[in-house]
Amino acid sequence: MNKQELTNILEEVKKGTVSIDYALKTLEELPFKDLGFAVIDNHREMRVGYPEVIYCEGKTLEQVTEIIRYMLSKNNNILATRATRQMYEAVKELQPNMQYNELARTITYRIKDIEQTDDYIAIVSAGTSDLSVVEEAKETAEILGNKVKVITDVGVAGIHRLFNRLDDIRGANVVIVVAGMEGALSSVVGGLVSAPVIAVPTSVGYGANFNGLSALLTMLNSCASGVSVVNIDNGFGAAYNASIINHMIIGKK
């Protein structure tokens, strides 16, 4: 609610065309409307067509099903992350066109058309074992309305593979780098592109990897300057970030 709308209500109260009770009810909601939370959300939704997102880990089968049932009733696109196959089986009962990506552990459903950006996000990953996170990022970026190019298995131990795909990486508006083990890929890519790089450490590895701590620290300490980092295995978060940036850029080329 902007200043003009507020003035209008007050004038209508003065004129008597609006009752005090009605104005009261409207103004009581003012704090929240004035903070504009819903406005943001609606605006963002309209612009990028992004669905509500359900983080399924730690939720029961029943909770996930109820949330999705409600969202379907509101005609929302759906993205559920960290979903088990069992959850998928349950929600497919609600809507048979639900999609499940086993590797990404995502449930998606497109009830509304999603307008895609002209430019794309590149998702670059070090090894085959990181594919689960890559897929989560890809599913997220696509349902948020982004074109995506996936470039896998270009870890720094064989750096020529990376150079081979450099054109594709440099062509992106935003680059997501997914890497486990020592996570060095983010520094190398960060030094090769001018676009912002969002690094996702993965828990792929063993021993002194400490469930992704190794790659996380590497990425935070990256000697390349254009790199920022999200949580371990957080493919969703990286794609969400990348999508915000990608949608802000109009006609880069």
Tell which positions 153-212 bind its own copies, by CB under 8 A: 155-160, 163-164, 166, 170, 173, 180-184, 187-188, 190-196, 198, 201, 203-212
Strand order across the beta sheet in which 52-55 lies:
52-55, 78-81, 106-109, 99-101
Q: How far is the CB of 109 from its own copies (least distance, A)?
A: 19
Q: How far is the CB of 112 from its own copies (least distance, A)?
A: 19
Strand-strand pairing, 78-81 and 52-55: parallel
Q: Among residues 69, 85, 112, 252, which is the contact residue for its own copies, using CB under 8 A?
A: 252
**What sign results for the dihedral spanned by CA atoms 60, 80, 128, 86?**
positive
Output phi, psi for 77, to 5 deg: -65, 155
Site for its own copies in 25-64 (CB under 8 A): 27-28, 30-32, 34-38, 40-41, 43-44, 53, 55, 57-60, 63
| Only segment of 71-79, 89-97, 107-115, 120-128 that touches its own copies (CB under 8 A) | 120-128
Closest CA to 179 of 155, 157, 163, 161: 155
Q: How far is the CB of 96 from its own copies (least distance, A)?
A: 25
Output phi, psi for 80, to 5 deg: -115, 125
DSSP codes, 16-27: TSS-HHHHHHHH
**What sign results for the dihedral spanned by CA atoms 142, 81, 43, 252?**
negative
> Per CB under 8 A, does 6 bind its own copies?
yes
> 35 or 95: whose CB is closer to its own copies?
35
Q: Among residues 106, 108, 146, 241, which is the contact residue for its own copies, using CB under 8 A?
A: 241
| Only segment of 5-13, 69-77, 88-96, 107-115 that touches its own copies (CB under 8 A) | 5-13
> How many whole angstroms separate alpha carbon 242 and alpha carbon 115?
16
> 110 or 161: whose CB is closer to its own copies?
161
> How many whole angstroms separate alpha carbon 130 and alpha carbon 143?
21
> 93 or 210: whose CB is closer to its own copies?
210
> 24 or 89: whose CB is closer to its own copies?
24
Binding residues for its own copies, rule CB under 8 A, total: 113
Q: How far is the CB of 204 from its own copies (least distance, A)?
A: 5
DSSP codes, 151-177: E-S--GGGHHHHHHTHHHHHT-SEEEE
At 207, the amino acid letter reads G
Q: Among residues 87, 91, 154, 230, which is the contact residue for its own copies, using CB under 8 A?
A: 230
> Per CB under 8 A, does 70 bind its own copies?
no
Site for its own copies in 78-97 (CB under 8 A): 82
